Structure 1
Amino acid sequence: MRILIVEDELHLAEALSQILKKNNYSVDVVHDGEDGLDYALSGIYDLLLLDIMLPGMDGISILKTVRSKGMAVPVILLTAKGEIPDKIAGLDHGADDYVAKPFSSDELLARIRAAMRRKGEVMPEDALKFGDLELNATNPKLTVRGKEIKLNPKESELLELLIVRKQAVTSKEQIIEKLWGFDSEAEHNNVEVYISFLRKKLNFLGSETRITTIRSVGYVLEEGKA
């Protein structure tokens, strides 16, 4: 899962990034409102953490623009202000939650999990299942009928994306955006390498689930014997 942090306090932004990465989230960080809006509108994020007071464009304006585009991505507002009117303004404009600084990392993580549950997403700490596959994304490992193998972070993120999308075809561009970020220099061959790694591990485990290449389109998980 990929989270965007828009926070102009550099030390806080870095601390938040490290906390989320340690909990197996992919994270991008920007420090002003205009960049935050550009990133948010890319559509690659599963959740936005927006500070309200930002240079260039405030968090409420980002939120309003995101919602005006019909984007349902969960949004949690971060602010040093604890006044009721600020909280009401954020919620009225479509925020999913509101956390006043200072806050504990455990509280923030719990609120992120709650926001994603309300959206109906499967959280990283939960086991993801498809066919005979069971993916533990918190301590990345893949299990097939009791036999398991460790995954590296990118393998886990890629398999998680394919499982969450189920039978939908996922393009290489979508994979690059989700795993590396939309401004990344990663190329199609980076995707092909990790698809190859996953296929070898599925074969090692004797899985009947396969990653099928849809030529010129992308990849899809399919159940059944390879």
Structure 2
Amino acid sequence: MKLLLVEDDATTAAYLAKGLREEGHVVDHLADGREALAQVMRGGYDVLIVDRMLPGLDGLSLVRALRSAKVTVPALFLTAMGGVDDRIEGLRAGGDDYLVKPFAFGELSARVDVLGRRAAQPVVETVLKAGDLTMDLIARKVTRAGQDIDLLPREFTLLEHLMRRKGRVQTRTMLLESVWDLSFDPQTNVVETHISRLRAKVDKPFARELIRTVRGAGYKIED
């Protein structure tokens, strides 16, 4: 992960940076809160480690300013201010965790890892695209080249499955399991029938085919 350490004590900063780099992290260090604000606004960090007592701009104000600017990178306060009210103030200012000095490096490292995992949660796509075909999962709307396409619920689910796996072949068995929730082959042409219906709506009225048959393998959708 790429970390920004905002700490004005040179000895503490050197100790932390060395330990975190040994664990495989990329660590930038700044001692001034105002400089840190400008640096974080440029983006690229996975986790911030922030002291509260900083020159230029204190750590609390730094994190508040980031949250006001809709910057959501996780921030861990690392500070000697360890009272209950101090911790509450730090968390309410937008901090994601709070660790009091003196501290064990192993605990700091574990907390950084946890914050990094939270930040790395995948973003759920709500709009899928393949060429000029667009599927809005929230509005339950499909368009191609600006024209609305009306799909039945099962057709919509089948198209969504193909678009989420754009460029990858989906076998008949995969489609039966994912779209029809069947763990066995019902010995019907249900997949072929629905693919045919999809093509009639998604491909036939347009100049270029998006839904492809891969002979002996299955189906896929391409840009």
- Normalised by the length of structure 1, the TM-score is 0.52
1:99 matched to which residue of 2? 99
Structure 1 residues 31-70: aligned runs within 5 Å: 31-70=31-70
Instruction: Measure how far apart 1:121 and its partner are.
Output: 4.8
Deviations along 1:55-109, one digit per CA (max 9) or x if unpaired, are 1110010101111111110100011111011100111111110000011110001
Cα separation, 2, equivalents of 1:115 and 1:2? 12
State the distance in 2 between where 1:63 and 1:91 align.
Answer: 10
Aligned length in residues? 123
Structure-2 separation of matches of 1:68 and 1:94: 9
Distance 1:14 1:66 in 2: 25
Asked if residue 78 in structure 1 is aligned to residue 91 in structure 2, the reply is: no
Aligned equivalents of 1:47, 1:118: Cα separation in 2: 10
Q: For residues 10 and 35 of structure 1, do their structure 2 counterparts lie closer, same or farther at Cα, with a shift above 3 Å needed?
A: same
Partner of 1:12: 12
What is the one-letter code of the residue matched to 1:66?
L
Q: What's 2:147 paired with?
A: none
1:92-131 equivalence runs, <5 A? 92-121=92-121
Task: Report the Cα distance in structure 2 between the residues aligned to 1:116 and 1:27, rounded to whole angstroms.
Answer: 14
Report the equivalent of 1:137.
none
Runs of 4+ in 1 over 4 A off after TM superposition: none
State the distance in 1 between where 2:121 and 2:109 align.
Answer: 15
Contact 2:46 2:119 in 1 (8 A): no
| Distance verdict in 2 for CA 1:21–1:35, change over 3 Å | same
CA distance in 2, matches of 1:121, 1:12: 31
The one-letter code sitting in structure 1 at the alignment partner of 2:103 is F
Residue by residue over 1:103-124, the C-alpha shift from the partner in whole angstroms, topping out at 9 and shown as x without a partner, is 11100011011112222359xx
CA distance in structure 1 between the aligned counterparts of 2:2 and 2:117, rounded to whole angstroms: 15
CA distance in 1, matches of 2:15, 2:38: 23
The 2-side partners of 1:21 and 1:39 are apart by: 20
Which residues of structure 2 form unaligned runs of 5+?
123-165, 167-223
* Paired residue secondary structure (2:49): strand
Q: What's the offset of the Cα at 1:50? A: 0.5
Higher mean alpha-carbon deviation, 75-84 vs 111-120, is at 111-120
Structure 1: which amino acid aligns with 2:47? L
Larger radius of gyration: 2
CA distance in 1, matches of 2:56, 2:71: 22
The sequence identity of aligned pairs, in percent, is: 41
Q: Quick one: which amino acid aligns to residue 12 of structure 1?
A: T
